[in-house]
Structure 1
Amino acid sequence: MSEQTIHKNKETRGFQSEVKQLLQLMIHSLYSNKEIFLRELISNASDAADKLRFRALSQPDLYESDAELGVKLSFNEQAGTLTISDNGIGMSRDDVIEHLGTIAKSGTKDFFAKLSEDESKDSQLIGQFGVGFYSAFIVADSVTVNTRAAGVAADQAVSWQSSGEGDYTVEDITKETRGTDIVLHLREEEKEFLSEYRLRDIIGKYSDHIGIPVHIQTVERDEEGQETGRKWEQINKAQALWTRNKSDISEEEYKEFYKHVSHDFAEPLTWSHNRVEGKQDYTSLLYIPSKAPWDLYNRESKHGLKLYVQRVFIMDDAEQFMPSYLRFMRGLIDSNDLPLNVSREILQDNKVTQSLRKACTKRALTMMDRLASNDAEKYQTLWNEFGQVLKEGPVEDFANREKIAKLLRFSSTHAETVEQTVSLADYIERMKEGQDKIYFLTADSFSAAKNSPHLEQFRAKGLEVLLMHDRIDEWLMGHLPEFEGKQFQAITKADLDLSAFEQEEEKEKRKETEEAFQSVVERTKTYLGERVKDVRTTFKLKETPAVVVTDENEMGTQMAKLLAAAGHDAPEVQYILELNPEHPLVSKMADEADEEIFGRWVEMLLGQAMLAEKGTMDDPSQFLAAVNKLLG
């Protein structure tokens, strides 16, 4: 650790309230695996080195005649301190206050809500929120950070100190070397980390893969065990993992590298390490996480891959290489074809970038397809975590629409469970002879879908229907007209035709019934006027007297709700009332000669149908008055 001079300009500041909560979790209950703190701090040091290397491309003076980047570990048994030092980018006073005094993320309320929901997931959530620095308080009763930003004078360094209670101090110091020294004042019960053997073991386990050397200060002793001197010894490979041969990398190394690049504490579901040479020259290492990040549904939040050019770190969250519907993917891409001084502006409109994005997207979809084929249980985990985001794909990515559709999963009447396990390929395999359409129903919830009256005739004929109950489903189906040559058919549309599954005798009988019932249809039309688009006879119902449907090109109920929820002015849905002439209530209405009483029956049937379809009605009082008079 570098030598310090007199401290000055000292101030005490209070932590952001969320940090106080986080520190209490860290100190009292969070981690079962305490050694994780060292992985997090070394990972941060590696990031600091990457950032300096990138900045130095345009400002080589930042190296200050010391271009050998690395991390050093030293400990003092008598003082009970462990020090992690790096010579990376360092921090200014403002940086220290911003990064160490607050959680520099939005959504902290959601974060703590999730912590309280399930304490067993706390460690995974900490990783997802990128607050690994605070893990130092798992083992330390106080932490000191001495840091100087690269390129500034030695007397512009700063020291940060806290015991993890409610506040921290910041003061100016002099630090001759750039970078950051983190001094952990270990608790008495955590002195196991003041052991060279223990530290070597942890580094070998968690940090062998990072691209900068990690040195430990070793003690030299004579034959009598007396200390004779100290020296620095490198204890990791210090070769970027993705540059090594795949055959030389163990499964554990891949998993630990994932935790390094993603700051996730959970293991990934799967990964793909790919080296391409020829027309393009790049390496990609892509991971599919096993847990969704807290901000998955915020399309504006940062996402993307770490970008390296010729093994030099360029930027985090390079969203140009992964479409929004794959924003849960993690990993990196290292290109030899992009310029080292690449900027986000260059990436926006660059043929190399577009080609790399296309390749990364294709590989991500292939990874998921293989997982679905080889490990259904793992794929179901992926779907449960990321399925709703993946459903954005057919809308955003027309070129890969069929591939994405193959990955989609839904509930259906085949199993009638809320879990979405049915693929479109499964559905097609079970289609009845003569069936040429994939039938689906969208609804507000699984319960509403499963109990919809629209399903009655499908159940009677043994036809499977996909039950879609996610909010995005209506939007999805508007952009997914077919799959493997089979068109999708919403069962709430008026053009629904199930005659292919009926006997000729049944068709003839229904034609006669429809003709005899036509006068009732006309009376109903006259009563309702412009309140509905049309009134028709239907034979698709069994237990239900009436339903409302829409024309094929008319906006459906769920789309109208989706637009309204998003604050848009949706046009009024024009419903068609369909009456079941074989239902006792409809027969009773048909036999009613008194037009006033007939109107009450119409009001009741229309109200029931609207409730079943929308969950609401325009004028409940009109419906209730009609029901009360009929029952009175």
Structure 2
Amino acid sequence: MEAMGFGRMDSGVNLYCQRILIDQHSENILPEWLRFVRGVVDSEDLPLNISRQALQDNALVAKLRRVVTKRFLKFMAEEAKKDPESYLNFWKTFGIFLKEGATSDYEFQKELAELLRFESSKSEAEKPISLADYILRMRPDQEEIYYINGPNRNAIESGPYVEMFRKNDIEILYTYEPIDDFVLNHLGEYEGKKLVSADGADILLPEGVEEQDGKEDSLDPKEKETFVEWLKTTLAEKVADVLVSKRLVDAPAIIVNPDSHMSSSMERVIALSRQEKGAPPQSGKKKLEINLGNPLIQKLADLSRTDEEFAKEIAWQIHDNAMVQAGLLVDPLEMVKRNYRILNRVTGN
């Protein structure tokens, strides 16, 4: 019921000793994140008169906990290989508990990593794959496993963060749930390959990937430097740096995170948590990557020299658009007012 949003369930394993119940709904036999499991454990080595407090401190119970948990995870890994379709049905219902374990229980993290499933740019819709499947399809020179968060597959694939991956035929995992980025961040790596969010500023592109460095832009090196510095100054209140993007293909700009340990999705979750507690939102400055091959950015560069005030309005609108695409908070009232000012200007009012 908990998986459907109806409250937190109790542990479902009963502990017996020589067929005598000594701990119903035991919280000591399995980790809390396996509370959905139902069954019984019968041990002949436990004393019949053991108290609940003694159960928590008993070395035999701790050993029993490790053995039973490892056997369950091994069984699930075997079932996933033997009957992938049935495992995916299990994953849709109980995957949230395994994700909880991956973020909270370092002892079993390696085993849990084998059981995780996510959709990807090369998987069918609603057919998530394992991290092992991803590894098998990686380019020989690829050192990182890439992922990006979004509300659904269509939103991710129509966004700017996957442009470079799509153009270079590099697989990227899609994460849809708020917990997903925390899971992959806690894992850190899989089979020696670092897990990296595609909205990070420091992603390492495989060798041979065609970098998008604004080759079609009309600015000479001096104009380019001047324009980037102007953007930095204009957006200094909100932006830590402005960079010429090597990943954008069509989009004019994207927001990237300077902190490789904090994706935009994770920041949204933390911001909502602070909001629920009545605390003001906290957000560090981001980096803005611009696509000098994009006509809008090229026109903005011209405007920055001929009509600076209007150019500043455009620059802030581009920044806010990029923030919205990253799923980050902006001031909606100011954004709408600015939008109308821009529309009034371009329509001649």
TM-score (norm 1): 0.50
**What does the per-residue CA deviation read over 1:353-389, in whole Å, with 9 as the maximum and x for residues that have no partner?**
1000001100110110110111111111111111111
Which residue of the partner structure matches residue 171 of structure 2?
A: 464
- Over 3 Å counting, the alpha-carbon distance change for 1:390 and 1:319 in structure 2 is same
1:574 matched to 2:285? The reply is: yes
Distance 1:616 1:420 in 2: 31
Q: Which ranges in structure 1 are unaligned for 5 or more consecutive residues?
A: 1-292
Which residue of the partner structure matches residue 324 of structure 2?
A: 611
Partners of 1:402 and 1:299 lie apart in 2 by: 29
Judge which range, 552-561 or 333-342, deviates more.
Answer: 552-561
SS at 1:544 equivalent: coil
Q: CA deviation at 1:507?
A: 7.2
> 2: distance between equivalents of 1:436 and 1:512?
34
Residue 393 (str. 1) matches residue 101 (str. 2)? yes
Count of residues in Structure 1 that have an aligned counterpart in Structure 2:
338
Indicate if the aligned counterparts of 2:142 and 2:205 stay in contact, CA closer than 8 A. Answer: no
Q: 1:481 to 1:571 in 2, by over 3 A?
A: same
Whole-angstrom CA distance in 1 between matches of 2:309 and 2:70: 64
Query: Cα gap change, 1:295/1:412 in structure 2, threshold over 3 Å: closer, same or farther?
Result: closer
Query: Within 5 Å, which residues of 2 pair with 1:216-255?
Result: none
Query: Residue 202 of structure 2 aligns with which residue?
Result: 495
Q: Which amino acid aligns with 2:142?
A: Q
User: What is the correspondence of 1:154-165 to structure 2 with a 5 Å cutoff?
Assistant: none
Contact kept, 8 Å, 2:217 with 2:298, in 1: the verdict is: no
Give the deviation of 1:627 after TM superposition.
Answer: 3.1
In 1: Cα distance, 2:339 partner to 2:33 partner: 46
Equivalent in 58, 67, 75 of residue 359 of structure 1: 67
Residues 607 and 623, structure 1, Cα contact 8 Å, conserved in 2 = no
Is 1:438 the counterpart of 2:145? The answer is yes
Contact 1:560 1:571 in 2 (8 A): no
Change in 2 beyond 3 A, CA 1:576/1:630? farther
Q: Distance in 1 between matches of 2:231 and 2:124?
A: 36
**SS of corresponding position for 1:501:** coil
User: Over residues 23-43 of structure 1, what are the superposed CA-to-partner deviations in whole Å (9 max), with x where a residue is unaligned?
Assistant: xxxxxxxxxxxxxxxxxxxxx
Distance, in Å, in 2 between the alignment partners of 1:508 and 1:455 is: 17
- Tell me, in whole angstroms, the C-alpha distance in 1 between the residues paired with 2:166 and 2:191: 24
The separation in 2 between residues aligned to 1:343 and 1:514, in whole angstroms, is 79
For the aligned residue pairs, the C-alpha RMSD in angstroms reads 2.5
Q: Does 1:620 align with 2:335?
A: yes
What residue is the counterpart of 1:564 in the other structure?
A: 271
Asked whether the equivalents of residues 416 and 450 of structure 1 are also in contact (C-alpha less than 8 Å), the reply is no
- Letter aligned with residue 367 of structure 1: F
Matched, 1:533 2:240: yes
Asked if residue 412 in structure 1 is aligned to residue 147 in structure 2, the reply is no
**Residue identity matched to 2:139:** K
Listed as ranges, the gaps of 5+ residues in structure 2 are none
| 3-state SS of 2:326 partner | helix
Matched residue, 1:583: 294
Q: What is the alpha-carbon distance in structure 1 between the residues aligned to residue 42 and residue 81 of structure 2?
A: 29
Q: CA deviation at 1:509?
A: 5.2
SS in 1 for 2:138: coil
Q: What is the CA–CA distance in structure 2 between the aligned matches of 1:469 and 1:316, rounded to whole Å?
A: 36
Per-residue deviation at 1:511? Answer: 12
Cα distance, 1:307 vs. partner? Answer: 1.0
CA distance in 1, matches of 2:213, 2:339: 37
What do the CA deviations read for 1:375-432 (whole angstroms, capped 9, x no partner)?
1111111111111111112222212211110110001111351x25210000010011
Give runs of aligned pairs for residues 415-430 of structure 1, distance below 5 A: 415=123, 417=125, 419-430=126-137
Change (3 A) 1:495 1:622: farther
Structure 2 distance, partners of 1:502, 1:494, is: 17
Report the structure number with the largest CA radius of gyration. 1
Q: Compute the displacement of 1:508 (Å).
A: 11
Summarize deviations over 1:586-613 as a string: whole Å, max 9, x none.
0111111211121122022112111211
Q: How many Å separate the matches in 1 of 2:155 and 2:220?
A: 29
> Corresponding residue for 1:62?
none
After TM superposition, give the deviation of residue 532 of structure 1 in Å.
1.3
Provide the rounded CA distance (Å) in 2 between the counterparts of 1:354 and 1:410: 32
Q: How does 1:25-44 map to 2 (within 5 A)?
A: none
Correspondence list, 1:1-150, <5 A? none
The match for 1:382 is 90
Instruction: Report the alpha carbon displacement of residue 501 of structure 1 after superposing the two structures with TM.
Output: 2.7
Query: Relative to structure 1, is the Cα distance of residues 575 and 629 closer, same or farther in structure 2, using a 3 angstrom cutoff?
Result: farther
8 Å contact from structure 1 (residues 514, 537) kept in 2: no
Question: Is the Cα–Cα contact under 8 Å of residues 199 and 264 in structure 2 kept in the other structure?
Answer: no
Distance change (3 Å), C-alpha of 1:359 and 1:510: farther
2:20 paired residue number? 312
Q: 1:295 to 1:535 in 2, by over 3 A?
A: closer
The question of whether the paired residues in 1 share the 8 Å contact of 2:256 and 2:288 is answered with yes
Per the alignment, do residues 331 and 341 of structure 1 end up closer, same or farther by CA in structure 2, a change over 3 Å counting? same
| CA distance 1:342–1:298, change in 2 (3 Å) | farther
Q: CA deviation at 1:499?
A: 6.2
Higher percent of residues as strand: 1
Q: Does 1:547 align with 2:254?
A: yes
Which of 11, 35, 39 is the matching residue for 1:331?
39
**2:317·2:335 contact (CA, 8 Å) conserved in 1?**
no
Q: Deviations over 1:280-314 (max 9, x none)?
A: xxxxxxxxxxxxx3567678531131111111122
How far apart, CA to CA, are the structure 2 residues paired with 1:389 and 1:424?
A: 18
2:79 aligned partner, one-letter code: L
**TM-score under structure 2 length normalisation:** 0.89
Q: Per-residue displacement from partner, 1:243-287 (whole Å, max 9, x unpaired)? A: xxxxxxxxxxxxxxxxxxxxxxxxxxxxxxxxxxxxxxxxxxxxx
- Report the Cα distance in structure 1 between the residues aligned to 2:47 and 2:10, rounded to whole angstroms: 23
Could you report, residue by residue, the CA deviation over 1:201-258 in whole angstroms, capped at 9, with x for unpaired residues? xxxxxxxxxxxxxxxxxxxxxxxxxxxxxxxxxxxxxxxxxxxxxxxxxxxxxxxxxx
Matched residues in 1 for 2:120 and 2:166: separation? 12
Q: Secondary structure at the match of 1:530?
A: coil
In structure 2, the residue matched to 1:478 is 185
Letter of the 1:428 counterpart: I
Question: Quick one: distance in 1 between partners of 2:7 and 2:67?
Answer: 22
C-alpha displacement at 1:450, in angstroms? 2.8
Q: Which amino acid in structure 2 is aligned with residue 571 of structure 1?
A: Q
Distance, in Å, in 1 between the alignment partners of 2:195 and 2:217 is 27
